[in-house]
Amino acid sequence: MRSCCAALLLASVFLCTAVGQQAKPNEVKPIEVKPGERYHVEWLSVTKDKQRINDWDNNKIDVVKMLQIREEQFERLKSGTLLEIIRIEPRSADFPVGYVECKRTNFRGPPETVYALPSHLRPDSVRLTQASQPDPPLAPGQPFYRSWKSADGSFEVSAELLEYDAMKVVLKREKDGKELQLTPDKLSAADRQWLADLASLEGVWLCVSIEHMGMVMPDPRPEWLAIFHRGRFGLMYGANLNVHGELALNSKANPKTLDIINPISKQKVLGIYQVDKDSLKLALAAQEKDPRPAALKGAKAGTMIFKREKN
């Protein structure tokens, strides 16, 4: 009987705190954000309609109503989402709690304007990125030059790959920016093999599961994306660019190998892969100085399974 009464008493105290007294939601001091700063999201709810900010005024509504508003009018961002601060609206008669206007970066779509409560931008909800962090090196305007040789050995040129298919290869010469167009048979066997290997990987791949220590984690969140683009590679976790660089491929090795070469330091992340049309298995060393995984099964840092995203 006493245990039953105790349970009822605890339940009533909990309800009183949650609905009547409202435990303070802002015990962690908010960050003083500035326009132009970029933050990675750990957890955060935002809205596309700034008028909805006034609906989430914790001093005027109860917790149950607040949760209903969050569910119906706000969006919970995925961990890893990138936000850029655009402007800070101070408290006013129109916006008693103020708001923060942000630009949300979508890797597979245009940026979107969203609004957050200033009190929700806290050290446990967002973290500042490096102000000098460059855009992903997969973007146009950041060339990757490699050495190309002719089939007969008569010339060698450092050039960026602009376009390629079964009929033609278009290169942009490094020294003067001149475009060179030639048929694949004019290139060395090594260059033709590199293009063939590249064609099998070209595009955006979505991670559907991760195998690690004998366990399988399906549908990981945030999303992992692998991007292969004209000889460059990027591995993204949400909006974070975790690994990026220039590609060296060897499809004749068993298992097939790839080296991801940092364009600045020239250090390498070593990996192995297996591709079958629109399915890709990829295992990478955990750090630049770590050895290449010996096999896809049982790889120390895990094996990622991807499906190619269709255009």
User: Quick one: which of 230, 202, 206 has its CA closest to 108?
Assistant: 206
Q: Domain segments of the chain: what residues?
A: 26-128, 200-308
Give pLDDT tens digits for 74-132.
888 876 677 889 999 999 988 988 999 998 875 445 678 999 999 889 888 888 865 43
What's the confidence (pLDDT) of residue 23? 37
Residues in the chain predicted with pLDDT less than 70, given as ranges, are 1-28, 56-72, 79-80, 106-110, 129-142, 221-222, 238-240, 311
What's the confidence (pLDDT) of residue 223? 74
What's the confidence (pLDDT) of residue 13? 30
> Kind of pairing, strands 256-261 and 179-182?
unpaired
Tokens of 111: 């940026």
CA dihedral 132, 137, 141, 143 (to 10 degrees): 120
Architecture (CATH level 2) of domain 200-308: Beta Barrel (2.40)
pTM here is 0.57
Q: How many CB atoms lie within 10 A of CB 232?
A: 23
What's the confidence (pLDDT) of residue 250? 94
Give pLDDT tens digits for 26-53.
456 888 899 988 887 878 889 998 888 8
What's the confidence (pLDDT) of residue 57? 59
Reduced 3-state DSSP string for 117-144: CHHHCCCCCEEECCCCCCCCCCCCCCCC
